[in-house]
Amino acid sequence: MIIDTHQHVFWHGKDDVGLIADMDDHQISLAWLLSWEIAPNEDNPPYHGLLNPIHIRPDGTHPGIPLADLVQARNRHPDRFILGYCPNPALPSAPKLFESAHRIHGARVCGEWKFRMLFDDPRCLEVFRVAGSLRSPVVLHLDVPYLMNERGEMAYQNFWFGGTIDNLERALDACPDTIFIGHAPGFWREISGDARTEPSAYPSGPLTPGGRLHGLFDRHPNLYADLSAGSALNALKRDPGHAQQFLTRYADRLLFARDFYGQDLWAFLKTLDLSKAVQDKIYFQNAQRLVPIKSNP
């Protein structure tokens, strides 16, 4: 069995039928469908062609991947999708919006959290605490606000989300009863000790000692991570030997996920000498433990 714990719909040219076909092609039984709410002031035009054009706003901005699309897809295929949703924490009603989505539509995952706010902003913490009280894991997208440029200066990044790993740790401390699932380039770069000085959003080359992810996992039992997108796969491929040790050491808190289509992650994991116990935890057991499978509405 395989559960894809980070997926979207009406995204990259596939509707729900296309996504189901891709899942069938790659023997994926179930997927967590995640929203991505984009405020007008955070609009990113290069993404417009990857999103559902029916939702374009009159001002030309795009709202992202709304809850309505996910509910539609889940209702059409209730045995294949788990509903996720994360409202914009800048809205005063955000905690209540998530609670309503949970009670009315059966949202069981708070995600994808992807906003130009700091993880430890009090408005975010309020959403995280409500999610924790409803036993809904929170999927976090981390892109750092600064990267070192070719002149050795810290250059501001226009499209950052969450802040830094320090902001993440403060949120982990503030919400010990909430499960957080780390994701995206800003998270996975911290597998290596050179994260602060590495200029690329997707670092390459051998890992250096002192990666902060290890300590973060060791100190915070409420931290998990998904292996989705190019960011996780890139981090693991930098050092396959380390990848095998990392996946084995933290097997109880890592989740198979794609954020796209195809089988790149599965193909890479097949090259590693992972025990069946480790594989089962990553492919489906951890997901089932966080979000037990039951009949959807």
Token pair 């995204």 is found at 11
- Please give the average pLDDT of every successive group of 10 residues along the chain, which has 297 residues: 98 97 98 98 95 97 98 98 98 98 98 98 98 98 95 93 98 98 98 94 92 97 97 96 97 98 96 97 98 70
pLDDT at position 190: 98
- pTM (two decimals): 0.97
**6-44 burial by CB neighbour count: b if 16+ within 10 A, else e?**
bbbbbbeebebeebbebbeeeebebbbbbbbbbeeebbe
- The answer to whether 138 and 89 are in contact (CB under 8 A) is no
**What residues form DSSP beta bridges with 65?**
36
Q: Supply the angle between the helices 229-237 and 240-249 in degrees, to the nearest 10.
A: 110
pLDDT at position 289: 98
Compute the distance between CA of residue 215 and CA of residue 101 in angstroms, rounded to an integer: 34
pLDDT at position 296: 43
Q: All domains of the chain, ordered by start, with CATH?
A: 3-290 (3.20.20.140)
Question: Which tokens is 263 given?
Answer: 């089988």
pLDDT at position 204: 87
User: Cβ neighbours of residue 236 under 8 Å, at least 6 residues apart?
Assistant: 227, 243, 246, 247, 268
Question: Which tokens is 241 given?
Answer: 């030997």
pLDDT at position 297: 42
